Structure formats: structure tokens, C-alpha cells
Amino acid sequence: MPKKVVYKAQIEHLQILDEEGKLDTKLAKDTLDDEQVVHLYEQMSITRHYDEVAFKLQRSGRMGTYPQNKGQEANAAASALALRKGWDWLVPCYRENTALFMHGLPMHYVLLHWMGDERGNQIPEGVNITPLSIPIGTHMLHATGIAWAAKLRAEDRVVATYFGDGATSEGDFHGAMNFASVMQAPVLFYCQNNQWAISVPREIQMNSETVAQKAFAYGMPTIQIDGNDIFAVYKATKDAVDRARDGGGPSFIEAVTYRLADHTTADDAKRYRDPEEVEAWRAKDPLIRTRKYMESKGLWDDTKQTELQERAEKIVAEVVRTAEGIEKPTPADFFNHMFAELPHELERQRDTMHTSSLCQNPEQAGLRAGLERV
């Protein structure tokens, strides 16, 4: 039997707004209008200031470890705009703050999370966002489950889940991708390829030339985009979301970006990253290129920038006051927020602050002999 080719594939790379703020008007058609561009820039800028303040909170001992979003804001902002607020679901990792805020999560919740206050994970009713996911890759399974549930209910919801390049080396990623593909679940797998899985560069932790090609194994539409380009992010996300909403199943996006800060405040990236590499990526900062574009169109100037900075400072200062001024939790809260209806056994523990086997029934704890000696 003669040999024959049974599979061919190619991956497109999409960039619409380059590093100098120059727009490909043909590719940009039917994407973002001027008002949306300004809105996204404002949201990214506020989150950037939020990031800087959060870093200072950690360094001053007022908050625990914090992962900065700096340099990756375009991914969260532009993709969030392509999803329906209050209807579609966001299943985040921990570098999607702009998307979370745009979809209704109160800004102080993220600070509470990193301060170790579980109330930061109690997502308000009607906000379709899952709590931040610290374990790498596990949340993609939840995203697929939510998407499958929406399909079973005949709802046209779409679920977007975010993760880094390192997460694609986890088994949970492959399980989620396979299930989503087989069941044709309406889920978007959005990979923020920021080049580093903590201290391991992408080219060492995987042997594939791109991350996007991993989707081919699951028969899933895939694309690689410039993740610092709000136009490319919006278009790729909108295309995937529209396809999923119309019954076309899951999609994969590899957004090539870069984390300009350390992995977290517990990390020192100078130990493993070349300073020249970091500086090269600073020139590709999504805020810088977006501002260049707006200025070229007369949409932005120094006065507006000053006004935005002052507004960001005011907003973030209020967010910090809210997070630090929240009423301290009580021991009873541990019980009150565990079940919709608290079982009698746990109700008794809450009211007495003792387990049922200690101080209430000494025989169960083997304390009879001790009590008889007293």
C-alpha cells in the first residue's frame, strides 16, 4: 500500500497593533472602536496601579505573597470585553485581575484573598467568576464542567479559562482539553504564554515549537496571537466565543506575552532571567503601545493621562481602605459559611466551641480513667 498524508496543520499568528502603536486597519475591521480602546486602556492602567500598590502592601507586611499582573493586562482586558458580563463564566488563574474587575468582582476581594481572608473567595451572587486558582492547571477541569453543564441546559453560555504555559504540562490540562473536545463543550482555553513557568523557560519545559499546536491533538481550533495587542486579543477571543455560542465547541488561544515582574513577591527573577530579555519586552508593554495608538489618533494626551492617574490612585486607595478595614471574622464564621443548612452536630460545635467527643462526651475520648482519678 502506498504511503499517504493523513494529517496536515498550520498555525496562524495574529498581530493587529504593533509595538509602535501602528494599526493594521484591514485586520482591525469590526473589532474595537475608539471608545472601547480608551475604555480598555483605562481599565489596564487602573489595574497596573493596583498591582503596584499590592506589591507595596506585601513588602510592608500588610499582605501575603502576591503575583503581579504587570505586562499581561491586555490579555485579561480585551478578552473580558468579548464575553458577556453576568452570563458567560470566567475561570481564572491569578493574573487576570482586569477581567475579574470588568466582570463585576469587587476589587478588594483580590486583596482579601492574598491577605489570607477567605471572604475574598466568596464570590458575590450574580458574578459568574470562580475563585482564584493557585494550584497549576486544576481549574481547567472545572471550566470544562461548567461549560458542559451549560450545554446540557441548552444555555448559550461560554466559559473562558485562563492559565500559563507551564499549566499545559500538567495532566489536568490534557484531561480538560480531551473532555471538552469530545463533548464539544463551549469553553475557551486561553493560555497566557509569558515565557516562564516560574523559573523554567518554555523551551525547556516542552518540546513543541508552539503551545498552540497542543490543541491539534484534540481536534480543536487553535491560534497564536500577540498577547500584548488588545485588538488581536479581542478578535481571537470574539471569534472563539462566537463559535462556541453557535455550537462549534471549544477553542484554544496561545497569547504570547511576558510577565515584567517576578513570578510572585516570593520570587527573584533576576536569578534566572537575562536583564536584556526583560528590557526587550518592556518595549512591548501593552499600555505603552495602546497609548501610542491613542495619541496618534488624537484620543489621548498628557492631561488625560494625569487625570487617569489621579483617578486610579483614588480608586485603589479606597479599595485598600475597604480591604484593611473589613470587620474581623469570628470563629463562628467557619461554621456559618460551610453549609447552606448547618448540621446539628456542627451547630453544637459552633455554639460550644468544642467537638462532640471532647468536653461533651468524655467516654468517647477515653477520658473516663482520668476523670475517675481526679
| CA dist 78 → 26, 230, 235, 351 (Å) | 19, 5, 9, 48
Distance CA 271, CA 291 (A): 32
DSSP for 284-319?
A: T-HHHHHHHHHHHTTS--HHHHHHHHHHHHHHHHHH
Closest by CA to 261, choosing from 65, 107, 4, is: 65
Bridge-partner residues for 10, per DSSP? Answer: none
Instruction: Please list, in sequence order, all residues whose beta carbon lies within 8 angstroms of the beta carbon of residue 147, skipping any fewer than 6 positions away.
Output: 89, 157, 158, 159, 180, 185, 186, 187, 244, 250
DSSP state of 83: S
Residue pair 86/128 in contact (Cβ under 8 Å)? The answer is yes
Which residues are known to be catalytic? 259, 263, 272
> Which H helix or E strand runs over 178?
helix 171-183
